[in-house]
A and B are shown apart, each in its own frame.
Chain A
Amino acid sequence: MGVEEKFPEVVTARLTDLVGWARKNSLWPMPLGLSCCAIEMMATVGPRFDLSRFGAEVFRFSPRQSDVMIVAGTLSWKMAGVARRIYDQMPDPKWVIAMGVCASSGGLYRNYAVVPGVDRIMPVDVYTMGCPPRPDTLIRAVMELQKKIAELAIDGRRPREPVLVQ
């Protein structure tokens, strides 16, 4: 009814929904490929799994051009400061996917050299299980993230409730 009835070529929407829809379908990931998980991340953007079907294929190697960081691999303490700096350089609103058990919790490495989960140094939006997670798991993580982004307030602020993809 209303406008849409009179002009069938017009669709009305809340601005929040519209912005959320645009945001969630144009994710530009920052690949923080730290170890073995990065191989699966590369496979995810390859032709077989094709992450571009979900609008998140433009991997940027500059943090300033990206809005979701995929931490794929084992984060060592030596690297932790660098990872945090990359995160800080990303423009808001930004998100983080912890890919694999290493990034989520330290995984099988429980020692002096490995950060026990990247959530020690940055807020994580989606945790992913698997060692490594299959590409479909990463795609699922992106889809879960898209759900979160769609509910985002227009200024990008929202409660950070992490999602676990298993």
Chain B
Amino acid sequence: MTALGAEVLPSTQDGLAAFRVGRDAWPQLAQAMKRDPQLAFELLVDVAGADFPRRRPRFEVVYHLWSLTFNRLVRVKVGVPEEDPQIASVVELWGSADWHERETFDLFGIRFAGHPDLRRILLPDGYPWHPLRKDFPVEGIDNSICYVREGGVLMTRELAVDRPAGADRTPVDLSRGDPAGFSDGAPTLPEEGAK
């Protein structure tokens, strides 16, 4: 694995073996992890996205792989830059990646090259944003855009009646560090007791 430039990460609280790999080396590594009888990671348990607004690359795609042969669970992290949020799909290798990748695309906007059917899975088709990015306000930006569906009238009333568009959202201020609880050891957070 290290031959492909994988960097072994310090063990986390859950004690899972984890390593980080470059975006370009990942397809080859995935191939090896699935096919090599010494590794034999037959099962892709999970594909998830993570957003670290102050890191470069900003996004991470996290894979959890399970070898049924050796009863081993391993975590692979692949960095994805914000400017070109794209990564190779592994649906060819693990069928279970299909919906997981769609979900990661839906919520983080990371495109999976080679995915057979990369549509949104949880949010309505045509939704313009990717709401699990840290700079997306949880109230939504302009919910009234969800009102009309193509080819049919869906709504009976405008949202703006009791809630002016954009008036009540709380944009995340990234200049003050990552949102609490998600900080990657962000050094800009004020120290305890500091005025």
Contact = CB atoms under 8 A, between A and B. Distances in A.
Contacts of B157: 119-120
Interface of B is mostly: loop
A52 B39 CA distance: 60
Contact of B159 (A111, A120, A122): A120
B138 A112 contact: yes
Contacts of B127: 77
Interface residues of A, number: 15
B154 interface: yes
Nearest to B131: A112
Interface stretch (B60-68, B86-94, B139-147): B139-147
B143 A112 contact: yes
B175 interface: no
Interface string A100-128: 00000000001111001001111100000
Contact of B131 (A78, A113, A120, A122): A113
Contacts of A81: 124, 149, 152, 154
A84 B152 CA distance: 11
Interface in A85-113: 110-113
A112 B139 contact: yes
A159 to B, nearest CB: 16
A83 B146 CA distance: 14
A78 B140 contact: no
B139 A122 contact: no
A80 interface: yes
Interface in A35-86: 77-78, 80-81, 84
Contacts of A78: 122-124
B155 interface: yes
A123 B138 contact: no
A49 to B, nearest CB: 32
B2 interface: no
B71 interface: no
Nearest to B145: A77
B12 interface: no
B28 interface: no
Contacts of A116: 143, 159, 163
14 contacts: A77-B124, A78-B122, A80-B154, A81-B149, A81-B154, A110-B138, A111-B140, A112-B136, A113-B131, A113-B140, A119-B157, A120-B147, A121-B155, A122-B156
Interface of A: 77-78, 80-81, 84, 110-113, 116, 119-123
Interface of B: 122-124, 127, 129, 131, 136, 138-141, 143, 146-147, 149, 152, 154-157, 159, 163
Which 8 pairs show the lowest CB-CB distances between chains A and B?
A112-B140, A77-B146, A111-B138, A112-B131, A77-B124, A78-B124, A81-B149, A84-B154
